[in-house]
Amino acid sequence: MLPYKSLIQIDRDAAVTLYIQVCNSFISLITDGTLQPSDLLPSSRILAELIGINRNTVKLAYEELISQGWAESVERKGVFVLSSLPILSKTKIPEIDKNKVPQEAFIWTNKFTTSIPSKNLQKNILTIDDGFPDVRLAPIDQLMREYRSISRKFYGKNFLKYGSSKGSEHLRESICNYLSNTRGLVVSPENILITKGSQMGIYLAAQLLLQPADHIAVGLSNYLCADETFRQAGANLLRIPIDDNGMDIDHLEELLQHKKIKAVYIIPHHHCPTTVTMSMDRRLKLLKLAKEHRFAIIEDDYDFDFHYDNKPYVPLASIDHNQNVIYIGSVTKTFAPALRIGFMAGPPAFIAAAASLRELIDRQGDTVLEEAFALMFDNGEMDRYFRKSLKIYKQRRNVFCELLKKDFSEEITFKIPEGGLAVWSTFDKKIDLIKMSEAALKKGLFIDNGIFYKNESFSTNGLRLGFASLAENEMTAALKILKTIISET
């Protein structure tokens, strides 16, 4: 008989009842091959004595095994593992050979071997991030109050059912008003799809626009997750230089003479990573080329709301009279990143197709949360938040840049950004950013290592240094640690 006393462990403090624990233990013994079809199980009296439980509990466990189809009772003989079960070989603990690649249990293709793991910024540690909002400023209490209020009301119960994959109609209407008031972009709710952030919009657009071997034009420096999204769609990336006025549209025009381009991806406001803004003459020329060559423009306008020194240019989508632009924005990237609300605007047929594709990935978003955000737009809370945070972020930008200028004049080159939540900073070539990042973490500071910004054509020794999420005392402490690290290397 098997050593059931050690094989079946009982936890009397667990939430799972004892007989289910015994039943599950036997199922594990059967599925790992320790018990084979037709094996006799110990009598209820013997097993009860071995593992120290009531005999009736064992009987209940056996009844459960039989009802689930793992065992069968034979009159006057006992309980046996079901004879018709397939024979399973006993699981062996694999020997670890460091020189041998472990064999997978099934065949699959890993297309993400070179992907950079996402950063976990939820840990309570002093952080110079990539350029994210200070979640402490966001009116979360008001948002949650609206959320609770909706969920308690009679009509709010309907929002707990399946809804439109385009998202809450109320929020789409609110986004339409918001885009009209802030960007001069006039669209209807049928032109809007609510997404789980801007990244979902980029993915949906890529899947609908691109076929394997299609060409898409992107910046020489660019948002890495967008690049990877286009590659996963099978597209070829054509790199276009980026200067102080944004993407070089003259270079793009030359490329169009001998390349068929399906789409152009741009971040016209506060380009990622360099923070530059595309000039108006280049915007107009890009729209002209899109109309002539019939390519789509994917306009990623993730932080339009944070522009400090002058009024921002209107988006390309606002002056696009030929419907070439797919406009992607984010609410939560300017509010709180973990609350995933973004939007995509485009021609109604395109948005309908994107909604159908979205259903295959994620049936719909959190309708109650979307409704709560809609109320925040309607009652002016979002507008008040944007105006308040804009004032604070401008002050933080100024202080942060003064500290960089004062303490890092020999190590870091930068330009004061007109908008956005980060400073693109080029470090002295002698500074190893990977080692710097590792050393900083040991001293209680998280700072990126720069790998995220590099690609096959762009390898500047630079980082986006986010200032928005740091109060003035925090940025002083963070930069003091950074200065110490650089001085020691």
SS3 393: helix
Structure tokens at 206: 């890529």
Residues 6+ apart with CB under 8 A from 411: 427, 428, 431, 486
Coil vs helix vs strand at 149: helix
Position 139 in a domain? no
Please tell me whether residue 449 adopts helix, strand or coil conformation.
coil
Express each pLDDT in 248-305 by its tens digit.
999 999 999 999 999 999 999 999 999 999 999 999 999 999 999 999 999 999 888 8
Q: Say yes or no: 357 and 411 in one domain.
A: no
Domain boundary (335, 350, 380) is at 380
Q: Which domain holds residue 422?
A: 126-133+384-488
What string of DSSP letters covers 422-439? EEEEEEPTTS-HHHHHHH
Same domain, 388 and 373: no
pLDDT band (50, 70, 90) for residue 45: very high
Same domain, 321 and 416: no
Number of domains in the chain: 3
Same domain, yes or no: 477 and 428: yes
Choose from 10-24, 222-236, 321-335 the range with maximum mean pLDDT: 222-236
* Residue 72 lies inside a defined structural domain of this protein: yes
Residue among 315, 247, 271 at smallest CA distance from 419: 271
The answer on 467 and 412 residing in a single domain is yes
Name the region of 424 (left: φ>0; alpha: ψ -120 to 50; beta: rest). beta
Query: Is 106 within a domain?
Result: no
Distance of alpha carbon 137 from alpha carbon 335, whole angstroms: 8
Where residue 69 sits, what CATH number does that domain have? 1.10.10.10
Alpha carbon distance 205, 207 (integer Å) = 6
Q: Which amino acid type is present at position 478? A: A
pLDDT band at 129 (very low <50, low <70, confident <90, very high): very high
Report if residue 158 sits inside a domain.
no
Q: For residue 279, give both structure tokens.
A: 């000039």
Q: What is the pLDDT of residue 334?
A: 84
| CATH number for the domain harbouring residue 343 | 3.40.640.10
Supply the DSSP symbol for 321.
S
* Cβ proximity of 232 and 113 under 8 Å: no
Q: How confident is the model at residue 404 (pLDDT cuts 50, 70, 90)?
A: very high
pLDDT at 94 (0 to 100)? 56
- pLDDT recorded at residue 315: 94
Residue 356 sits in the same domain as residue 411: no
Average pLDDT taken over every residue of the chain: 91
**Is residue 220 in a domain?**
yes
Q: Average pLDDT of 180-198?
A: 93
Give me the pLDDT at residue 93, please: 56
Which of 380, 396, 430 terminates a domain? The answer is 380
When pLDDT is cut at 50, 70 and 90, the band that residue 153 belongs to is confident
**pLDDT tens track for 3-44:** 998 899 889 988 899 999 999 999 999 988 899 999 999 999
Closest CA to 172 of 326, 357, 374, 330: 374
Q: Are residues 388 and 356 in the same domain?
A: no
- Residue 117 corresponds to which tokens in the numbers above? 């793991």
Examine residue 95 and state whether it is found in any structural domain, yes or no: no
292: left (phi over 0), alpha (psi -120 to 50) or beta: alpha
Q: How confident is the model at residue 97 (pLDDT cuts 50, 70, 90)?
A: low
Shared domain check, 420 and 318 = no
Stated pTM of the model: 0.81
Residue 375 and residue 396 in one domain: no
Are both 226 and 327 inside the same structural domain? Answer: yes
Same domain, 397 and 459: yes
Q: Residue 431's closest CA among 445, 411, 402, 451?
A: 411
What's the CA gap between 454 and 341, in Å, rounded? 28
Domain of residue 464, CATH code: 3.90.1150.10
Residue 388 and residue 371 share a domain: no
